[in-house]
Structure 1
Amino acid sequence: MLPADYIDLYCERTAPGFWNEPLNALSNLSFIVAALVALYLVRKRGKSGIAELVLIALAAAIGIGSFLFHTFANTWSELADVVPIWSFVAFYIIMVIYRATGENLFRTLRASAIAVGITAAIFWFSSDAVLTDIDAGPDPFNGSLQYLPAMVALLIATLLMHLRKHPARAYITLATATFAISLMFRTVDMALCFSVAFGTHFMWHLLNGLMIGFLLAALVLKMPPQGQAR
């Protein structure tokens, strides 16, 4: 008898059990490493911003939440997985806009409203919910379309950074490329299950930890608070 709220979405999981997804669980250490590196960069810069510390904490929370989901594999741990992810995405976008507009609150609110509208439209056409669909297995995209808004946001940010020759453009470009590759690994996890017994989802974690590291480095090093040299 399976638990009523048991969730099995990935190739590596074959049965209920805390350590039934060891690679998927332990690969979440990449988010903790990214958070620690970003914290080091903030302290090396000499002045901590509360917004950056919140983002660093959210990056670590992504790793913890995803670890819980890939060990407990149930409804509450699924929420622990997705809430930090989308909280990081939303807060990071707002902070980038705020710093890019010279910390202009009105322009930040206006640009954020546009970003919310675009995101909502993409969700409408690509996914019914933010939560991973429990029936994602048969889906040819394996539930990865829910991350299309994040991919679009990164592509737009990369384009704008290059058009404006922004100092953070290299970091944002690396983050975008890394996310595209990681999304591919997430998508093919179930499709390659017969040939790769443990799946490829763990690569999604490893590369996303790297991607978040690039994003945090861009904010800390190239988009510091006003009054601090870039």
Structure 2
Amino acid sequence: MDRSSWHQPIDAYCERIDPSFWSEPVNALTNGAFILAAIAAGLIWLRAPRRDWLVAVLIVLAFAVGVGSFLFHTVATRWAALADVVPIALFIIVYFFLAMRRYLELPLWAALAVTALFQGLSMMVPGLWLDFARAQFGYDPLNGSAGYLPAAAAMIVVGALVWRCKPAVGRALVGIGGLFVVSLTFRSIDTLVCGALPLGTHFVWHLANGLVLFLLLRVALPRPA
């Protein structure tokens, strides 16, 4: 890929009508939900009974998700797309590892191995889904959302596994997983509703997913004794 391709404009969302910086004002500004989630979680972290540095990393990544997504919905180039997806991918990986260690209480080696396996399988899903969707429908009805399905499944499965031994965590993860599925739905239908709703629905994904990240961080934050 040559250098010029990194600056190639991307038009991927209903709201965008041209390559200008503020062509997606609602999509851009609703990334504030991720920033607010990180700030709110950070304030709780500061008041926590102990310093949890793994959660601190997740809070920084949540903030980076907001910044990266803002760049993508304003600059809208290939390099900005990378700034968008990398913090999200890192957040998912780190939180999955945390869940393996603290919710399922796996030993370090097992948590690392399962996290690596999860990441490997997650990387396969988008390509497998796209091949299937093109063969069956001729287009991607999930609008690029297939890569997030493993994260949704992980929340629900881990929540179900710990439901009895850690009921508060289990209920929270299953509920957050359900909310994440709802937010993914709004991400997926964005281009489908353009004719009826020129603004699209991607901004709802930002708002709902900002809440998802905050709730995940809240579950992970140390509680007072």
Question: What TM-score bracket applies, with the shorter chain setting the length?
Answer: 0.7 to 0.9
**What whole-Å deviation, never above 9, does each CA across 1:156-190 have from its counterpart, x for those lacking one?**
12221324344312321231121111111011111
Contact kept? 2:104, 2:162, Cα under 8 Å: no
| Aligned counterparts, 1:69-218, within 5 A | 69-102=72-105, 104-123=107-126, 125-127=128-130, 138-218=139-219
- Matched to 1:158, the amino acid is G
**Residue in structure 1 matching 2:36, options 18, 33, 37:** 33
Deviation at 1:149, TM superposition (A): 1.5
Asked if the contact 2:93–2:115 (Cα under 8 Å) also holds between the matched residues in 1, the reply is no
Provide the aligned length of Structure 1 versus Structure 2: 214
Aligned structure 1 segments of 4 or more residues deviating by more than 2 angstroms: 100-104, 109-128, 163-167
- Check whether the contact 2:159–2:169 (CA below 8 A) recurs between aligned residues: no
Q: Render the CA deviation track for 1:91-133: whole Å, top value 9, x for unaligned.
A: 11011212235473233234324433543453453258xxxxx
Aligned residue identity for 1:112: T
8 Å Cα contact 1:174-1:211 kept in structure 2? no
Matched, 1:14 2:26: no
Aligned-partner residue type, residue 161 of structure 1: V
- Using structure 1 for the length normalisation, give the TM-score: 0.84
1:27 aligned partner, one-letter code: T
Native 8 Å contact 1:12 1:199 kept in 2: yes
Query: Which residue identity does 1:56 align to in structure 2?
Result: I
Per the alignment, do residues 79 and 120 of structure 1 end up closer, same or farther by CA in structure 2, a change over 3 Å counting? Answer: closer
Q: How much identity, in percent, do the aligned residues show?
A: 39
Segments of structure 2 that go 5 or more residues without pairing to the other structure are 1-5, 132-138
Q: State the TM-score, normalized to the length of structure 2.
A: 0.86
Return 21-30 or 173-182, whichever deviates more. 173-182
Report the aligned-residue RMSD.
2.3
Q: Which residue of 1 aligns with 2:3?
A: none
Shift, 1:219, TM fit: 0.5
1:54 aligns with 2:57: yes
**1:59 Cα deviation after fit:** 0.2
